[in-house]
Amino acid sequence: MRVSELAEALGVNAVDLVKKLIALGVMASVNQAVDYDSAEVLVSEYDKVLKKEETADISDFENFEIEEKAEDLLERPPVVTIMGHVDHGKTTLLDAIRKTNVASGEAGGITQAIGAYSVQCHGKLITFIDTPGHAAFTEMRARGASITDIVIIIVAADDGVMPQTKEAIDHAKAAGVPILVAINKIDKPEANIDRIMSELVENGLTPEEWGGDIVVNKISAKTGVGIDELLENILLVAEMEGYKANPHRYASGAVVEAKKDNKIGSVATLLIQNGTLRLGDPIVIGNYFGKVRTLKNDKGQNIVEAGPSTPVEVTGISEVPSAGDKFMAFESEKQAKQIAEERRLRSKEQDQNFSGMTLEELFGRIQEGVKEIKVVLKADVNGSLEAVKGALEKIDVEGVKVNVIRGAVGAITESDVVLASASNAIIIGFNVRGNTKTMDTAKQYGITIKTYDIIYKIVEDMEKAMKGMLDPEYEEKVMGTLEVRQLFKFSKVGLIAGCHVTSGVVKSNQKARIIRDDVVVYNGSVNTLQHEKDQVKEVKKDMDCGITLVNCQDYKEGDMIEVYELVEIAR
């Protein structure tokens, strides 16, 4: 309720209520909404009781479902996302489908922004989402917007399944949507389709012609070969899945892209997932209110209304929303304004970050009946990756299995964090870690990253977590970092690393590790520290020093050395 409405219900002056709210530490004007707890205190001062009406909270429209009558549901176009490795032909394929020239206008022929487009095939519409990659796709999922019905994984016949292709496959699988594969550039002399098929099998996508369930389309986005068959397969999948929506209600959906235009203000590309959006509709996007001032289709033409699965560009929103924000249209401006205000209040009261799981929460989820624990696994080398993955997948506690939704070699990246957040997974690193930016992203999303250097310890921790028997947990606190700038060799002590302290304070006997290209190559402790000609117990930021580590002779210029302590975390 707004303060004015509450005052009317109580039969008192609204200004008096504002004063009482200020005394409670709540800064609100007469026309602002007041939360239930504050209203309850105000009402009690007038010897009244506040009752909460048991109705669905339409302001929480991300989780609000309107029961639809079967007769109102009509077939809607499928929404398709194309993903794959850079320069494998994602935009060129879309270009071939749309019969327009988008790729040549982009820097280096690589997609620079998100777009959404409708195309017609055999009298039916298909909506394509053109994204910069799987990271944007999963970022949307992490924000609660599952906008894609079908994913097309595109692979270049002359290049093969590349690292980004593998990531795209992992992200598509985690989304739990039907996957089609398009092998592109089959017209090139160096094309090797059998090798691609074999690599697809290795990554868990077995083609139909090899006895699996994945439809593989052989195409050339450049010449147009195989494009019609690909579109027919999309329509076939859509028919089998039976995508439906109700065009007779107010629109809801998600933001695909948004920007600020100096002349017309906030501009948002929306994908309507249900209902019909009309010119002039009051609308709430994220926590912002607006009124649809202009409505354009994907060709830039002004339209008066748009139905389910239609991408549109709208203006009239008060602020620039984020990609993945959900939107809903309402009957009146008053209702839309009130709901936007309620959502703003709620966002102040609670952390809006999407959080993944910590090991401690595993046991709670198992108690709730979860039969699968999802893990994003990163390791230093393939041998370690396979060994850790195998060990994790053999764990079976109380009928609960571990599912490694992504396993790859290399440092933990921001893409891994977003995938873990969107899939409610935990991240495990074996002899690898993430850089500072990745760790900050993990903190933002509430994702706990566990790093290990012993396989049995991973299995032991996982089993204990699944049984609710975890030992005290220790958090690594980095005390200082050094950069190796020069190496000195002495006959008595061997190699000494000449370093510059880039942060913190480094002390002798502290735990230490060497990080080379984001991979941990040594884990032990500090042996000696030398400043100029003297042996010292500590060196501080911006000082130069010589350092030796216990049982270590593997230093290289450019290595980073981290010194850290283990601090017990209170449970």
Name the pLDDT band for 108 (thresholds 50, 70, 90).
very low
Q: What is the pLDDT of residue 103?
A: 44
User: Cβ of 236: how many Cβ atoms within 10 Å?
Assistant: 12
Q: What is the pLDDT of residue 54?
A: 56
d(CA 192, CA 362): 44
Q: What is the pLDDT of residues 213-266, one digit of tens each?
A: 999 999 998 888 899 899 999 999 999 999 999 999 999 998 888 888 878 888
Q: What is the pLDDT of residue 357?
A: 56
Q: What is the pLDDT of residue 442?
A: 87
User: Cβ of 388: how many Cβ atoms within 10 Å?
Assistant: 24
Query: Rounded mean pLDDT of the chain?
Result: 83
Task: Please state, in angstroms and as integers, the Cα–Cα distance from residue 525 to each residue in 117, 345, 497, 507, 543, following that order.
Answer: 57, 49, 14, 10, 20
Residues 111-129, mean pLDDT to the nearest whole number? 75
- Contact between 182 and 228 under an 8 Å Cβ cutoff? The reply is no
Query: For the domain 74-244, what is the CATH superfamily, name and number?
Result: P-loop containing nucleotide triphosphate hydrolases (3.40.50.300)
CATH number for region 476-569: 2.40.30.10
Choice between 363 and 35, residue whose per-residue pLDDT is larger: 35
- With 60 as the cut, is the pLDDT of residue 111 above it? no
Strand partners, 118: 127
The full 3-state SS of 324-353, as one line of letters, equals CCEEEECCCHHHHHHHHHHHHHHHHHCCCC
Of 288, 444, 450, 257, give the one whose Cα is nearest residue 354: 444
Choice between 518 and 368, residue whose per-residue pLDDT is larger: 518
Choice between 96 and 53, residue whose per-residue pLDDT is larger: 96
Q: What is the pLDDT of residue 104?
A: 47
- With 80 as the cut, is the pLDDT of residue 305 above it? yes
Instruction: Look at the domain 359-471 and name its fold.
Output: Rossmann fold (3.40.50)
Q: What is the pLDDT of residue 107?
A: 43
d(CA 539, CA 518): 24
- With 70 as the cut, is the pLDDT of residue 570 above it? no
d(CA 6, CA 26): 15
Q: What is the pLDDT of residue 538?
A: 92
Q: What is the pLDDT of residue 106?
A: 46
Q: What is the pLDDT of residues 265-302, one digit of tens each?
A: 888 889 999 999 999 999 999 889 999 999 998 888 89
Q: What is the pLDDT of residues 460-475, one digit of tens each?
A: 888 877 776 555 667 7
Torsion of CA 247, 248, 254, 256, to 10 degrees: 50
- Contact between 75 and 63 under an 8 Å Cβ cutoff? The reply is no
Q: What is the pLDDT of residues 10-34, one digit of tens each?
A: 888 888 888 888 888 888 888 888 8
Q: Are strands 282-285 and 326-329 parallel, antiparallel or unpaired?
A: antiparallel
Q: What is the pLDDT of residue 145?
A: 56
Q: What percent of the chain has pLDDT over 90?
A: 31
pTM, full prediction: 0.62
- Contact between 216 and 207 under an 8 Å Cβ cutoff? The reply is yes
Residues 509-529, mean pLDDT to the nearest whole number? 91
The CATH number, out of the four listed (2.40.30.10, 3.40.190.10, 1.10.1040.10, 3.10.25.10), of the domain defined by the range 252-349: 2.40.30.10
Q: What is the pLDDT of residues 538-565, one digit of tens each?
A: 999 999 999 999 989 889 999 999 999 9
Q: What is the pLDDT of residues 355-400, one digit of tens each?
A: 455 665 655 555 555 567 889 999 888 778 888 888 888 887 767 7
Q: What is the pLDDT of residues 58-93, one digit of tens each?
A: 777 766 667 778 888 999 999 998 888 877 778 788
Q: What is the pLDDT of residue 79?
A: 92
- With 90 as the cut, is the pLDDT of residue 479 above it? yes
| The domains spanning 74-244 and 359-471 adopt the same CATH topology | yes
Q: What is the pLDDT of residue 183?
A: 93
Segments making up each domain of the chain, as ranges: 3-44, 74-244, 252-349, 359-471, 476-569
Name the pLDDT band for 101 (thresholds 50, 70, 90).
very low
